[in-house]
Amino acid sequence: MSERINEQRRRLLSSLAMAAAALPLLRVGTAQAASLPHLTLDDPTAKALHYTENASQLDPKTQPAYKPGADCANCQLYQGDRKAAWGPCAVFPGKDVKASGWCSSHVDMSS
Ligand code: SF4
């Protein structure tokens, strides 16, 4: 009987140790997901795609690809939390784009 209890204790302690060891890994994964470098306006691809951090300042007369109301937060290629200020984008791997931004690769959510 005491061998059985000892075995149960050993399993419990082993499980707790593994869970404790995994905690820092979970924290690192969360931090990395939330801390990509911001895409800069002087990035060559950003320039080529007319990326801006403030879509509301675009004028469809001077930027015909822009449709009023379009921004990164309502683009199908945006991969972040749509309520966050910045998030990843499929077009700019390894960078966060501004949710209020826009580029000419914008894909409307209803498309
Ligand atoms: Fe923003 Fe979409 Fe352009 Fe990415 S593809 S920068 S989410 S508009």
pLDDT digits (tens, 9 = 90+) for 33-44: 567 999 999 999
φ, ψ (nearest 5 deg) of residue 34: -100, 0
Does residue 12 surpass a pLDDT of 70? no
Q: Is residue 86 within 8 Å of residue 96, measured between CB atoms? A: yes
Is the distance from the beta carbon of residue 78 to the nearest atom of ligand 1 less than 6 Å? yes
Q: Is the CB–ligand 1 distance for residue 89 below 6 Å?
A: yes
pLDDT single digits (tens) 51-101:
999 999 999 999 999 999 999 999 999 999 999 999 999 999 999 999 999
Strands 86-88 and 96-98: antiparallel
Counting atoms of ligand 1 from 1, which one is nearest the CA of 104?
Answer: 3
